[in-house]
A and B are shown apart, each in its own frame.
Chain A
């Protein structure tokens, strides 16, 4: 008995030692090989002039660098914005050219490796909150302009980076190197395909690369990696979970994607935050304000053109308006569950027809956000409200109030179910428990964000 125990103990020690040994080797591998990639000593191939800085500023808009690296009320690009990850909160870094707390001492090679390869100056790996798997697509030309902008076009700001709130052992960063080796694509110069559509190619470059649209809009796999980085994957831009919203499906599905949107609709949406029937919500509000409204019309058209090349995934289904519910409400029939709550809370703007007002209050009838299988966005918006941002070309910031304090979980479930099953919408109903879960998640998030 004792012998058996002793031998078990020995085995355990050997296994443990073996495990630790493996871990040590795994760790050492990241120390030895983690810094490989790119050329830390690389220099700009051109002098920095005003023109290059200006072009870099535009590239920074396209890459939406400020979305994460400028905190609300903070100095531009000085970092400090909190980003919730599944393992804890991390904080964006100071990327102003301040020599002490920012990236003032970065060589072009340091900069390039961080942006396109996720490798820090010390050879460690960045959290993939930095979308380097997408930025790997950035051209050498744009990279150089971007570097010029961050060195000469941004005002240095002294602000020390804040360590993450992630607890040990999850705070160890070396396993990220394996994540990077597994999921980050190689940095390769884009090769023009003979006979292809140059506008779609430009669009692909912006959407897949600088715009890093897939970061939110592509569903994630077991390792939290994007399930596809290019249209080769049927999951690419098929909709992802972000911040308790469903970042919409951008593929060609008429029912729940962009199938019914024209290229002009997409351009207008990215410029102003709304189309005739829809309005921006969630994290996309910041994208419109900080990034897309600053893009040229030709780049926006390229994005739209490329997105419209994405086929629908799954069976195609088209929306047809059904007037039954509108007629019932017109005649005072509120027998359908949720109908009275809808009239009392929603119809002032969205109307009993569910059509809203064009270019003003979004249509609920036939809206892909409403008909998405996953009702997260709709529940979230009803609870917290939403606001169209004030953009240069459309300064009015129409807002929807929050209804969390006014409606119970059951009322929200009823009204969302009503919206998802009226006027021709046919999406699964919502239970009070789903609303309760969303409410709890949003409350936790709010607490986590409190200073």
Chain B
């Protein structure tokens, strides 16, 4: 096997967290190498207008996603079932190439609620230990909201995020989210302008006594220069966000916020078409010596490094840990082991609202994030769960993310699925339709986990990752409760009709249905090496020169979109590496 010259830091995957860590450590003068299995790409020429707004190519055929025949995950509902490969995109979107999912996300940029980070102790304290049902394995982060605040802030200022502060250093600001944790600064740019449906939603929500606020997002609403001197353009609500690269340099992505500055640093190197298959360990199994990757010609190459950052997508992080033999694999029978533990997803409901001709919603004026209004009364523990008998919640949002003809065209209930009547209904309703959506949390459970599939292998001959997951009663109750609140708001908007998609008891997890795409867990962070794979700084308990970034660190899933927390945790880890690890390499938390 060919051996390359050693580097200080090797970063596996140049997506959101890989870019953040690479930038922060390269700025320190370290020799940083990013190994990316895909190709490089940039706003120009890859996402240039008007090529970038091709719904069939990008949204339907998934131009920016990993080609599933190369590698995928297998899925089953419970232990004992035979898992089958995920062969067509639906429930989640696996990224590929430089920028990763940071290129094709929607840009919804939330902070977790303070209690989300101390979920188990918070619930036990407020409702008692018995409130947590048998089989639910929720855990605390070993980091508080206040500790993370400066890093949540950094990720927002990286993106030129737009939004309205609700809690500035404890002072409540009208028009913002009254439930958010205190923030030290306002958003760097003001909210993206509300669309008409967002205004209708906010009015209805206010009439019901709620506190609607503009959706925070990673789309800068103004031209903006971030702390790396990288400049973003302003969102013009074109509606081509999720599944697309942003041609306007507005949606935050590694390409629009970090890479132009990172590429200027001479001590940073990017090697594309370099697919890491293993993190190599020394004989003690406590120290990584580097990584093995397969290059474009299929040759295996060993890259020595002092520090390894595993920064690939959530499922790929879990798989890399299992393939490298780092940490004890999770065993659902005994509940012991940590790698693959606490897989979670999210649960949405979607209500399409149809108006008469007098309400012109103009769905082609939209943004994947921004331009919508939402309420946070029923998220996290912002409401009394005691009488309700479930844990978690979600936000309720009104507005539209785009008016694309193939995937975002709705017709009222009762319309035939094809033919002249469908066409007539599509034409009549296109300009008069909008959405009220609930975006809910999913807790972690003993029987929801990931391991290596015994049957299916990828194009390199390595076992695929197997996902074992199904819904639980807690989430059916949660979605019913917050969807009913959403329907009350929708009714106040006085539509002529509506239709609702909700998961009901008995419905199984269906990967053909698009929901939030937010898959989490498997390499989780926590205070105890017996129950978590990583310490509070995302450092492996077992191999101290390995840090694992991304949503794989979530002990359970929140009701918010995860990227704000993902970015903040990456900055938090980078800060710990810079200020503690580099001075004294070794475990940053004593087990």
Give CA–CA (A385, B44) in the complex, Å. Answer: 11
Q: Is B499 interfacial (CB-CB < 8 Å)?
A: no
Residues of A within 8 A of B261 (CB): 395
Among candidates A348, A387, A392, A396, residue contacting B231 with C-beta atoms closer than 8 Å: A396
Q: Is A345 interfacial (CB-CB < 8 Å)?
A: yes
Interface window among B48-56, B65-73, B573-581: B48-56
Q: Is B132 interfacial (CB-CB < 8 Å)?
A: no
Q: Which residue of A lies closest to B262 (CB)?
A: A395
- With A398-B249, A399-B48, A401-B49 in contact, do A359 and B223 touch (Cβ < 8 Å)? yes
Task: Indicate with 1 or 0, residue by residue over B8-46, a CB within 8 angstroms of chain A CB atoms.
Answer: 000000000000000000000000000000000001110
Q: Is A373 interfacial (CB-CB < 8 Å)?
A: no
Residues of B within 8 A of A393 (CB): 229
Q: Is B127 interfacial (CB-CB < 8 Å)?
A: no
Q: Is B320 interfacial (CB-CB < 8 Å)?
A: no
CB of B50 within 8 A of CB of A345, answer: yes
Q: Is A360 interfacial (CB-CB < 8 Å)?
A: yes
CB of B223 within 8 A of CB of A357, answer: yes
Residues of A within 8 A of B43 (CB): 399
Residues of B within 8 A of A332 (CB): none
Residues of A within 8 A of B362 (CB): none
Q: What distance in Å separates the Cβ of B44 from its nearest Cβ neighbour in chain A?
A: 3
Q: What distance in Å separates the Cβ of A273 from its nearest Cβ neighbour in chain B?
A: 11
**In which size bucket is the chain A interface?**
20 to 34
Q: Is B587 interfacial (CB-CB < 8 Å)?
A: no
Most B C-beta atoms less than 10 A away, residue of A359, A394, A395: A395
Q: Is A187 interfacial (CB-CB < 8 Å)?
A: no
Among candidates A361, A387, A392, A395, residue contacting B233 with C-beta atoms closer than 8 Å: A361
Q: What distance in Å separates the Cβ of B104 from its nearest Cβ neighbour in chain A?
A: 19
Q: Is A37 interfacial (CB-CB < 8 Å)?
A: no
Q: Is A173 interfacial (CB-CB < 8 Å)?
A: no
Among candidates B229, B234, B247, residue contacting A395 with C-beta atoms closer than 8 Å: B229
- With A348-B248, A349-B233, A390-B260 in contact, do A360 and B228 touch (Cβ < 8 Å)? no
Q: Is A232 interfacial (CB-CB < 8 Å)?
A: no
CB of A395 within 8 A of CB of B260, answer: yes
Among candidates B51, B229, B231, B249, residue contacting A359 with C-beta atoms closer than 8 Å: B231
Give CA–CA (A434, B230) in the complex, Å. Answer: 38
Residues of B within 8 A of A345 (CB): 50
Q: What distance in Å separates the Cβ of A326 from its nearest Cβ neighbour in chain B?
A: 15
CB of A360 within 8 A of CB of B45, answer: no
Q: Is B236 interfacial (CB-CB < 8 Å)?
A: yes
Residues of B within 8 A of A358 (CB): 223
CB of B48 within 8 A of CB of A392, answer: no
Among candidates A348, A357, A390, A406, residue contacting B264 with C-beta atoms closer than 8 Å: A390
CB of A401 within 8 A of CB of B48, answer: yes
CB of A360 within 8 A of CB of B44, answer: no
Q: Is A43 interfacial (CB-CB < 8 Å)?
A: no
Q: What distance in Å separates the Cβ of B306 from its nearest Cβ neighbour in chain A?
A: 28
Q: What distance in Å separates the Cβ of A387 from its nearest Cβ neighbour in chain B?
A: 6
- With A357-B234, A360-B223, A360-B231 in contact, do A396 and B249 touch (Cβ < 8 Å)? yes
Residues of B within 8 A of A357 (CB): 223, 233-234
Give CA–CA (A360, B250) in the complex, Å. Answer: 11
Among candidates B236, B256, B260, residue contacting A348 with C-beta atoms closer than 8 Å: B236
Q: Which residue of B lies closest to A346 (CB)?
A: B49
Q: What distance in Å separates the Cβ of A147 from its nearest Cβ neighbour in chain B?
A: 28
CB of B49 within 8 A of CB of A348, answer: yes
Q: Is B263 interfacial (CB-CB < 8 Å)?
A: yes
CB of A398 within 8 A of CB of B233, answer: yes
Q: Is A162 interfacial (CB-CB < 8 Å)?
A: no
Residues of B within 8 A of A392 (CB): 264
Q: Is B238 interfacial (CB-CB < 8 Å)?
A: yes
Interface residues on chain B, number (Cβ under 8 Å): 26
Give CA–CA (A230, B236) in the complex, Å. Answer: 46
Give CA–CA (A82, B465) in the complex, Å. Answer: 53
Task: Indicate with 1 or 0, residue by residue over B254-280, a CB within 8 angstroms of chain A CB atoms.
Answer: 001000110110000000000000000
Most A C-beta atoms less than 10 A away, residue of B43, B44, B50, B225: B44
Q: Is A445 interfacial (CB-CB < 8 Å)?
A: no
Give CA–CA (A397, B263) in the complex, Å. Answer: 12
Q: Which residue of B lies closest to A361 (CB)?
A: B233
CB of A395 within 8 A of CB of B230, answer: yes
CB of B223 within 8 A of CB of A395, answer: no
Q: Which residue of A lies closest to B259 (CB)?
A: A395
Interface residue ranges of A340-360 to B (CB < 8 Å) = 345, 348-349, 357-360
CB of B49 within 8 A of CB of A396, answer: no
Give CA–CA (A396, B230) in the complex, Å. Answer: 5
Most B C-beta atoms less than 10 A away, residue of A349, A357, A360, A394: A360
Q: Which residue of A lies closest to B51 (CB)?
A: A401
Residues of A within 8 A of B232 (CB): 396
Q: What distance in Å separates the Cβ of A62 from its nearest Cβ neighbour in chain B?
A: 22
Q: What distance in Å separates the Cβ of B27 from its nearest Cβ neighbour in chain A?
A: 13
Interface residue ranges of A399-436 to B (CB < 8 Å) = 399, 401, 406
Residues of B within 8 A of A396 (CB): 230-232, 249, 256, 260
- With A345-B50, A348-B238, A401-B44 in contact, do A360 and B260 touch (Cβ < 8 Å)? no
- With A401-B49, A401-B51 in contact, do A394 and B229 touch (Cβ < 8 Å)? yes
Residues of A within 8 A of B234 (CB): 357, 360
Interface residue ranges of B47-99 to A (CB < 8 Å) = 48-51
Q: Which residue of B lies closest to A396 (CB)?
A: B231
Give CA–CA (A394, B229) in the complex, Å. Answer: 6
Give CA–CA (A193, B312) in the complex, Å. Answer: 65
Q: What distance in Å separates the Cβ of B217 from its nearest Cβ neighbour in chain A?
A: 18
Task: Indicate with 1 or 0, residue by residue over A263-297, a CB within 8 angstroms of chain B CB atoms.
Answer: 00000000000000000000000000000000000
Interface residue ranges of A355-385 to B (CB < 8 Å) = 357-361, 385
Residues of B within 8 A of A387 (CB): 44
CB of B228 within 8 A of CB of A395, answer: yes
Give CA–CA (A348, B256) in the complex, Å. Answer: 17
Give CA–CA (A399, B245) in the complex, Å. Answer: 14
Among candidates A349, A395, A397, A406, residue contacting B44 with C-beta atoms closer than 8 Å: A397
Give CA–CA (A406, B53) in the complex, Å. Answer: 14
Residues of B within 8 A of A398 (CB): 44, 231, 233, 249
- With A345-B50, A348-B238 in contact, do A394 and B263 touch (Cβ < 8 Å)? no
Q: Which residue of A lies closest to B53 (CB)?
A: A348
Q: Which residue of B lies closest to A391 (CB)?
A: B264
Residues of B within 8 A of A390 (CB): 260, 263-264
Among candidates A361, A385, A397, residue contacting B260 with C-beta atoms closer than 8 Å: A397
Task: Indicate with 1 or 0, residue by residue over B202-234, a CB within 8 angstroms of chain A CB atoms.
Answer: 000000000000000000000101001111111
Give CA–CA (A63, B238) in the complex, Å. Answer: 44
Q: What distance in Å separates the Cβ of A135 from its nearest Cβ neighbour in chain B?
A: 30
Q: Which residue of B lies closest to A406 (CB)?
A: B50
A-B contact pairs, 12 of them (CB 8 A): A348-B238, A349-B233, A357-B233, A357-B234, A358-B223, A360-B233, A385-B48, A390-B263, A396-B230, A396-B231, A399-B43, A401-B44
A-B complex: 4 closest residue pairs judged by Cβ atoms: A399-B44, A395-B260, A401-B48, A360-B223
Chain A residues at the B interface, C-beta cutoff of 8 Å: 345, 348-349, 357-361, 385, 387, 390, 392-399, 401, 406
9 more CB-based (< 8 A) A-B contacts, given A361-B233, A401-B50: A345-B50, A348-B236, A349-B248, A357-B233, A385-B48, A394-B231, A396-B232, A399-B45, A401-B51
Chain B residues at the A interface, C-beta cutoff of 8 Å: 43-45, 48-51, 223, 225, 228-234, 236, 238, 247-249, 256, 260-261, 263-264
